A = this chain, B = another copy of it.
Amino acid sequence: MEKLQNGYLFPEIGMRQLMHVEKYPGAKIISLGIGDTTEPIPNIIASAMSQYSHALSTREGYQGYGAEQGNQELRKAIAETMYRDMGINDTEVFISDGAQCDISRIQLLLGSNLTVAVQDPTFPAYVDSSIIIGQTGEYARNTGKYGGIEYMRCGPENSFFPDLSSVPRTDVIFFCSPNNPTGHAASREQLGELVATATRNGSVIVFDAAYSAYVSDGSPKSIYEIPGAKEVVAIEISSFSKLAGFTGIRLGWTVVPHELSYSNGFPVHKDFDRIICTCFNGASRIAQIGGLACLSQQGQKATQQVIGVYKENARTLARTFTSMGLEVYGGTNSPYVWVHFPGRRSWDVFSEILEKTHIITVPGCGFGPSGEGFIRVNGFNSKECIQEACHRLRNLLG
């Protein structure tokens, strides 16, 4: 634990926001910081949870413990909706209380004696949970990196996909696509290369697909679209948070294929099942009922509409920064927009924007050393707020 540097990124931003509010009590702050959903949950989904909650007060409707692995019907609906034609079975889907929580449970599964590779930049929870479980060496202040972790640089110069031939073999590769924070969705070809490399090296890919619902250009939404991924190398994590506004409701899932085994032939699925039964006790039944409603035909249509709002917002933000002459990435297959401020430090840009426009962003360096010089903004907001934000940004930088 002592190795962890500073606070976790988002609480740190929260603290700076609080300080800003104290300094400017009247300011109307707009948060483009933490990727937090803002739009109401479609009625069909909220109603399902509301009715279920109410029924818990009746003898017919009350239910105690659910299966640790999740509601059978929901597991089946996820397998059929999200993994149609990919050969994923309902028993391979484990329902969770969110992707971040499952990342830690996967770390428990993997243990401390292994090597890890992550995209650089990427969602900080992979590295932070690696540190907590004890996989890493010391922090090197000059590079901003931890020992024992391979940082796979993903920047504009390599189309945000690492040169895998130059990355040393690791036991595990965390890979997030569409990536948080860059917004880049890896292409079919790129993911094919990733799967081939992992297969050759005997590495496990932990694929984070939390933003797959935002893919719109035909890029794969699941690692299992790549032939060989299911049979050999990949665990996939996903979530209802950004798919259906469930950030506060807490619901996600992880796919662990039956075929995946340790080098001694023991099935990983069996160990993950044991961890779920020992270290977790299932997601809230109310949230799971909501998840089922999301996957109904009407539910899917309704959530797609909300996602459409966020994506339109992201495009608006991207256009605004582009019009200011900045290099802008993401925003097409992702709610995230990744903006380059060459030669400047991320926290300085963060502070300047906050000071002059009362807008919260995320300093890119919080996602890894290669994020220095970038900031992340996101489309999770009402259309009106985004327009107001763009107006303020143009006044500042235009």
Asked if A37 and B57 sit within 8 Å, CB to CB, the answer is no
Asked if A245 and B129 sit within 8 Å, CB to CB, the answer is no
In Å, the complex CA distance between A68 and B125 comes to: 14
Query: What is the distance, in angstroms, from A244's C-beta to the closest C-beta of chain B?
Result: 11
Asked if A277 and B11 sit within 8 Å, CB to CB, the answer is yes
Asked if B43 and A47 sit within 8 Å, CB to CB, the answer is no
Q: Which of B4, B274, B281 contacts A250 (CB 8 A)?
A: B281
Query: What residues on B are CB-neighbors of A91 within 8 Å?
Result: none
Asked if B40 and A61 sit within 8 Å, CB to CB, the answer is yes
Asked if B133 and A62 sit within 8 Å, CB to CB, the answer is no
Asked if A104 and B64 sit within 8 Å, CB to CB, the answer is no
In Å, the complex CA distance between A277 and B41 comes to: 25
Quick check: is A54 within 8 A (CB to CB) of the other chain? yes
Asked if A37 and B8 sit within 8 Å, CB to CB, the answer is no
Asked, given contacts A51-B50, A64-B248, whether A111 binds B1 with beta carbons under 8 Å apart, the answer is yes
In Å, the complex CA distance between A108 and B107 comes to: 11
Asked if A278 and B104 sit within 8 Å, CB to CB, the answer is yes
- Among residues of B, the one whose C-beta sits closest to the C-beta of A99 is B281
In Å, the complex CA distance between A341 and B390 comes to: 75
In Å, the complex CA distance between A2 and B271 comes to: 9
Quick check: is A193 within 8 A (CB to CB) of the other chain? no
Asked if A64 and B47 sit within 8 Å, CB to CB, the answer is no
Which of the 9-residue segments A170-178, A283-291, A314-322 touches chain B? Answer: A283-291
Query: What residues on B are CB-neighbors of A387 within 8 Å?
Result: none
Asked if A65 and B36 sit within 8 Å, CB to CB, the answer is yes
Query: What is the distance, in angstroms, from A194's C-beta to the closest C-beta of chain B?
Result: 25
- Residues of A within 8 A of B (CB-CB), count: 74
Asked, given contacts A2-B266, A108-B104, whether A284 binds B248 with beta carbons under 8 Å apart, the answer is yes
Query: What residues on B are CB-neighbors of A109 within 8 Å?
Result: 1
Quick check: is A42 within 8 A (CB to CB) of the other chain? yes
Query: What residues on B are CB-neighbors of A46 within 8 Å?
Result: 53-57
In Å, the complex CA distance between A125 and B276 comes to: 12
Question: From residue 155 to 171 of chain A, which have CB atoms closer than 8 A to chain B?
Answer: none
Query: What is the distance, in angstroms, from A50's C-beta to the closest C-beta of chain B?
Result: 4
Asked if A285 and B38 sit within 8 Å, CB to CB, the answer is no
Quick check: is A98 within 8 A (CB to CB) of the other chain? yes
- Among residues of B, the one whose C-beta sits closest to the C-beta of A124 is B278
Query: What residues on B are CB-neighbors of A4 within 8 Å?
Result: 274
Quick check: is A58 within 8 A (CB to CB) of the other chain? yes
Query: What is the distance, in angstroms, from A306's C-beta to the closest C-beta of chain B?
Result: 11
6 more contacts with CB within 8 A, not counting A34-B65, A36-B64, A38-B64, are: A37-B64, A46-B55, A112-B112, A132-B275, A249-B286, A286-B287
A-B contact pairs, 19 of them (CB 8 A): A8-B277, A8-B278, A36-B64, A39-B62, A46-B53, A50-B54, A62-B245, A64-B245, A64-B247, A64-B380, A66-B248, A97-B97, A100-B280, A112-B112, A132-B278, A248-B284, A250-B285, A284-B284, A286-B286
